[in-house]
């Protein structure tokens, strides 16, 4: 190979060219070198971030080694004493063979595939929006199903509560009928007692339960209207979101499963253990979950609305069970008090009946004794006409006339007969007076016994009425047709044959 000899040192005087010409060429070379370095540096800077530029104060190989050092794998110690190489954290491309993780570089100028990249980005945005719309539609559909389920539960509970309210109203009607039927009792049996107090207490308690059930019905009606309005809003938004996903052939339930959500509000059911539910995204005016999806007709969100409806259902069910139990207990207590009053009336009736029997025997004996006293008085007075002279009881018989002529021979027969007749007459008057009193008392007891019979029949009828009317198969209209508006002081008018029941 030829060997280049170092240029010989030439003195300034040996140069032929002019110095100005030489300096001009050197200046042009320096300018070209500076321009080359600057353009190369700017070209490199356009393809990598600013902080990746090498330090000009370091050598090229040292600066490159320092620059690449953060990209290399890191060696970590394990608990067992071994080592493990792991790539550094962050974004980038991992080269497992070279054990280097290159960071992501961001170009500052459009690349040659800029148009294709923009088209792909636009398609990705469109697909992302479509997927978000599909997920939102699936969530709205699931929320609509939950609202429909809660509406059905509320309607069923309203039916149960309305049935219980009709039972309470029927109880009030039975109470009114009981009071009216007890108005059939005679005046002597209308003395206020504990049975009347129990009927009044039952009326107040039933009115209180009726107001309570009516408040529950009003509250459930307002909540039902709110749920229906929310359901209509969800249905409109659901149909609107479905317009963006008509061409996507995938079930909405599968979309929720892929998104890790089996419920929009995650309240009505427990989350699936295989997937972890995500929170409802915040409203975004330019996203798929717009503020229009948030129910604006009510101050409550759907989750709070479902929680409130669940609490209302629990409260209504509890009130219905409590009212049913309390109503049954009150009805049993009132029926027991009326039955006890009927038993007491029966005892008094039996006592009056025994008293009437004893008095009837006394009246017969007194009447017989009075008749015997009248016969005795007639026998004492003697015969009434001459055909009875053979009895020898006349004071004008010959023996009495013979010895009655003188004063000293006055016979005591006439005086004693007069005294005996007067005494017998007084006894007869006293017996007749006692007999009149016995007859008047007997009449009064008979009237009292009849009143007791009527009161006993009325109380028994009221108890039977209450037991028959509170049967679940007897509705409110049937109980209402039983007793019409009538005056308790007068008996009800007789029914005609045409209006009589078959």
Model confidence pLDDT, tens digit, residues 431-461:
788 888 888 888 888 888 888 888 888 888 8
pTM over 0.85, yes/no? no
Nearest one of 123, 142, 125, 133 to 245, comparing CA atoms: 133
pLDDT in tens, 154-201: 999 999 999 899 889 888 888 888 888 888 888 888 888 888 899 999
> Cα(301)–Cα(304) distance, rounded to whole angstroms?
5
289-308: b or e for each residue (b if 16 or more CB lie within 10 Å)?
Answer: beeebebeeeeeebeebbee
**378's tokens:** 């007639």
User: For residue 314, which of 153, 146, 159, 152 has the smallest C-alpha distance?
Assistant: 153
Q: Which run of H or of E encompasses 102? A: strand 100-102
Cβ neighbours of residue 146 under 8 Å, at least 6 residues apart?
263, 264, 265, 267, 268, 306
Q: What is the pLDDT of residue 17?
A: 79
Paired tokens of 165: 């309210």
- CA separation for the pair 340, 163 (Å, rounded): 31
Residue 117 host element (H or E): helix 114-182
Q: How many Å apart are CA 350 and CA 473, to the nearest integer?
A: 37
Token code pair at residue 309: 């409806």
Q: Which residue has the higher pLDDT, 255 or 344?
A: 344
Terminal alpha carbon distance of the chain = 143
Q: Tell me: pLDDT of 16 over 90.
A: no
Site of tokens 């010989």 = 8
Q: From CA 337, how far away is CA 342, in angstroms rounded?
A: 9
pLDDT tens string 83-125: 888 888 888 888 888 888 888 776 677 777 888 888 888 888 8
**DSSP-assigned letters across all residues of 329-365:** HHHHHHHHHHHHHHHHHHHHHHHHHHHHHHHHHHHHH
Distances, alpha carbon 175 to alpha carbons 115, 334, 359, 428, in Å: 88, 10, 40, 57
Q: Are 111 and 98 in contact (CB under 8 A)?
A: no
For residue 95, give the 3-state DSSP assignment.
strand
pLDDT at 156: 93
Assess whether pLDDT exceeds 80 at residue 327. Answer: yes
Number of Cβ atoms within 10 Å of the Cβ of 413: 12
pLDDT band at 424 (very low <50, low <70, confident <90, very high): confident
274 falls in which pLDDT band (50, 70, 90)? Answer: very low
228 vs 333: CA distance, rounded Å: 43
- How confident is the model at residue 486, as a pLDDT? 45
In Å, how far are 257, 319, 328, 384 from 462, measured between CA atoms?
64, 29, 16, 65
- Residue 236 and residue 107: Cα distance in Å, rounded? 45
Domain ranges of the chain: 118-267+291-344
For residue 288, the model assigns a pLDDT of: 65
As a whole number of angstroms, the distance between CA 141 and CA 253 comes to 9
CATH topology (fold) of 118-267+291-344: Substrate Binding Domain Of Dnak; Chain:A; Domain 2 (1.20.1270)
What pLDDT score does 497 carry?
A: 45
């Amino acid at each position: 190979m030829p060997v280049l000899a170092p240029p010989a040192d030439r003195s300034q005087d040996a140069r032929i060219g002019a110095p100005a010409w030489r300096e001009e060429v050197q200046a042009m070379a320096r300018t070209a070198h500076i321009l080359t370095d600057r353009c190369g540096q700017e070209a490199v800077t356009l393809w990598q971030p600013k902080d990746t530029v090498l330090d000009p104060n370091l050598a090229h190989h040292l600066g490159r080694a320092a620059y690449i050092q953060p990209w290399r794998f890191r060696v970590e110690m394990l608990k067992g004493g071994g080592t493990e190489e792991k790539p550094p954290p962050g974004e980038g491309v991992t080269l497992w063979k070279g054990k280097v993780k290159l960071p992501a570089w961001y170009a500052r100028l459009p690349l040659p595939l800029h148009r294709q990249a923009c088209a792909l980005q636009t398609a990705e945005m469109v697909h992302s929006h479509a997927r978000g719309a599909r997920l939102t539609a699936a969530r709205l559909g699931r929320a609509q199903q939950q609202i429909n389920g809660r509406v059905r539960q509320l309607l069923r509970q309203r039916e149960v509560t309305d049935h219980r309210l009709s039972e309470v109203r029927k109880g009030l009607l039975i109470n009114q009928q009981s009071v009216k039927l007890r108005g059939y009792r005679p005046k002597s049996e209308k003395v206020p007692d504990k049975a009347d107090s129990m009927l009044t207490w039952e009326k107040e308690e039933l009115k209180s339960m009726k107001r309570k059930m009516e408040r529950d019905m009003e509250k459930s009606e307002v909540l039902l209207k709110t749920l229906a309005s929310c359901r209509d809003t969800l249905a409109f938004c659901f149909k609107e979101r479905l317009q963006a996903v008509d061409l996507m052939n995938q079930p909405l339930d599968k979309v929720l499963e892929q998104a890790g959500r089996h419920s929009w509000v995650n309240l009505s059911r427990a989350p699936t253990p295989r997937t972890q539910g995500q929170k409802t995204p915040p409203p975004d005016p330019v996203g798929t979950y717009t503020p229009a999806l948030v129910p604006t007709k009510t101050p409550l969100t759907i989750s709070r609305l479902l929680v409130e409806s669940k609490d209302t259902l629990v409260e209504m069910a509890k009130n219905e069970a409590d009212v049913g139990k309390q109503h049954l207990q009150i009805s049993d207590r009132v029926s027991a008090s009326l039955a006890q009053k009927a038993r007491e009336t029966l005892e008094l009736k039996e006592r009056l009946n025994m008293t009437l029997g004893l008095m009837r025997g006394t009246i017969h004996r007194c009447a017989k004794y009075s008749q015997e006293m009248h016969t005795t008085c007639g026998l004492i007075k003697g015969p009434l006409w001459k055909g009875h002279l053979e009895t020898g009881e006349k004071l004008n018989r010959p023996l009495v006339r013979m010895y009655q002529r003188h004063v000293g021979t006055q016979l005591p027969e006439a005086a004693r007969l007069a005294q005996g007749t007067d005494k017998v007459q007084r006894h007869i008057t006293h017996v007749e007076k006692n007999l009149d009193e016995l007859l008047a008392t007997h009449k009064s007891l008979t009237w009292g016994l009849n009143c007791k019979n009527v009161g006993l029949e009325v109380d028994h009828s009221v108890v039977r009425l209450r037991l028959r009317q509170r049967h679940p198969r007897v509705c409110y209209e049937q109980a209402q047709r039983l007793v019409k508006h009538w005056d308790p002081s007068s008996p009800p008018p007789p029914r005609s044959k045409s209006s009589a029941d078959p």
